Amino acid sequence: MQSVLTRFALEGAPVTSEPFGSGHINGTQLVRCSGGAEYVLQHINTTVFREPERLMRNIELVTGHLSGKVSDPRGVLRLVPALDGRSFAVEDDEYWRVYELVPDSVCYQSATPSLFYESAVAFGRFQNQLADFPAEQLSETIPLFHDTPTRYAAFHRAVSEDAFDRRAEVAPEIDFVLEFESFSHTLTDLQRSGELPVRVTHNDTKINNVLFDAKTDKALCVIDLDTVMPGLAVNDFGDAIRFGASTAAEDERDLGRVRLDLALYETYVKGYLSTCGTSLTKQELAMLPVGAKMMTLECGMRFLSDHIAGDVYFHISRQRQNLDRARTQFALLKEMDAHWDAMRRIVEEAARAL
């Protein structure tokens, strides 16, 4: 690690380093240097991100664009260049990068309503600030990531192969997924017809990917930019709702506890549209509830596929955890159907107030 750090243009010599953050993909260290400068060193996981140079080019382009849009320097992550001028360093075929530590900031793992609102403000602002950025300049770090029909193809393969003889026990869940297969084309069809524009999207819009001011709890910036790529804004919105407006944990076993909290849903809608509502098209605004439903369906289907395939993608800490995750998503999907009119009305009223 000391050798890697000498490859970057740091202010001062590295003195200490320690594990930092709660991410599970990239190895992250907080580095303190003589003179007081602090940095975040990350080892890029090339098993997940197989084209790290294209990934880093995405981050360079996006953070460069955002830098021209913010008044507070804490409003965007800032890469520290390597001594050779690149945004990363390579040692023994391992890829590394360094960010400046965002001062006086804090990251949360769970949300109060006010923090949930602020996270919506942050992701809406991120979308708005990148509305004039040509998304086609970015690479797909994970190809077809939110192409739901493609996810269905993978689901069918897992069910057909039934590698661990689990298909019979989850027949009701399989039937539930198949009921929505025609719906799964809704957003991709609108994208292909040009009715939904391709935008720069984050693709992991959870609260722990937002930094907040340590004193005021106001959102500062969006972090974890590895999955920034071309996509649909409604999916970013939808994934935030799927994760943040549910009353239960993602792997809750008591499905009676799974509810869609309409108050939290409305909180997020208002926060999100307060910063990007005028950047979205009428069709995008109309499809925001569909995005929430689509991401819930897609995630539930992926959890079920992984359970059937033997838990090869999503890490589990107990048996049948991916099945529990799938059932939780399906229960939430039913909740969305039950409150569909209210979900649409909330968006319509918030959009009229813009």
The pLDDT tens digits of the residues spanning 298-342 come to 999 999 999 999 999 898 999 999 999 999 999 999 999 999 999
Residue 5 CA to its chain's centroid (Å): 28
Q: Which two tokens stand for residue 103?
A: 């001062």
Q: Which residues, in sequence order, are bridge partners of residue 17?
A: 31
Q: What's the CA gap between 267 and 253, in Å, rounded?
A: 27
> pLDDT tens digits, residue range 198-234?
999 999 999 999 999 999 999 999 999 999 999 999 9
pLDDT of residue 199: 97
Closest CA to 337 of 297, 305, 299: 297
User: Whole domain around residue 30: which residue ranges?
Assistant: 2-103
Max distance between CA atoms of the chain, in angstroms, equals: 63
Mark which of 103, 130, 150 sits at the end of a domain.
Answer: 103
CA–CA separation, 235 and 230 (whole Å): 11
Cross-strand partners of 229: 201
Q: Please identify, among 80, 103, 126, the residue that sits at the C-terminal boundary of a domain.
A: 103
SS in 3 state form for the chain? CHHHHCCECCCCCEEEEEECCCCCCCEEEEEEECCCCEEEEEECCCCCCCCHHHHHHHHHHHHHHHHCCCCCHHHCCCECCECCCCCCEEECCEEEEEEECCCCEECCCCCCHHHHHHHHHHHHHHHHHCCCCCHHHCCCCCCCCCCHHHHHHHHHHHHHHCCCCCCHHHHHHHHHHHHCCCHHHHHHHHHHCCCCCCEEECCCCCHHHEEEECCCCCEEEECCCCCCEEECHHHHHHHHHHHHCECCCCCCCCHHHCCECHHHHHHHHHHHHHHHHHHCCHHHHHHHHHHHHHHHHHHHHHHHHHHHHCCCCCCCCCCCHHHHHHHHHHHHHHHHHHCHHHHHHHHHHHHHCC
Distance CA 39, CA 97 (A): 10
How confident is the model at residue 27, as a pLDDT?
85
Q: 108 in a domain, yes or no?
A: no
Q: Which amino acid is at 130?
A: L
Residues 147 and 260 occupy one common structural domain? yes
Q: Give the distance, in angstroms, between the CA of residue 226 and the centroid of all CA atoms in the same chain.
A: 9
Band of pLDDT at residue 23, cut at 50, 70 and 90: low
What is the domain count for the chain? 2
Amino acid at 74: R
CATH label of the domain that carries residue 217: 3.90.1200.10
Q: pTM value?
A: 0.95
Closest by Cα among 291, 280, 281 to 187:
291
pLDDT tens, position by position, 37-82: 999 999 999 988 999 999 999 999 999 999 999 999 999 999 999 9
Which pLDDT belongs to residue 48?
83
Residues 63 and 140 in one domain: no
Same structural domain for residues 75 and 216? no
How much is the average pLDDT of 279-308? 98
Give mean pLDDT, residues 1-29.
88
Instruction: Give the pLDDT confidence of 128-179 residue by residue, as tens digits.
Output: 999 999 999 999 998 899 999 999 999 999 999 999 999 999 999 999 999 9
Q: Which two tokens stand for residue 183?
A: 């719906």
Mean pLDDT, residues 250-254 taken together: 96
pLDDT at position 140: 94
Report pLDDT for 24.
Answer: 62
pLDDT of residue 102: 97
Q: Tell me what pLDDT residue 191 has.
A: 97
* Residue 175 and residue 242 share a domain: yes
Average pLDDT of the segment spanning 282-306: 98
Of 103, 125, 157, which residue is a domain's last? 103
Query: Is residue 322 included in any domain, yes or no?
Result: yes
For the segment 8-14, the average pLDDT, to the nearest whole number, is: 95
Residues 42, 63, single domain; the answer is: yes
- Same domain flag for 134 and 99: no
Reference 77, options 116, 124, 39; nearest CA is 39
Whether the pLDDT of residue 2 is over 90: the answer is: no
Token pair 């950025």 in the structure block, residue: 133
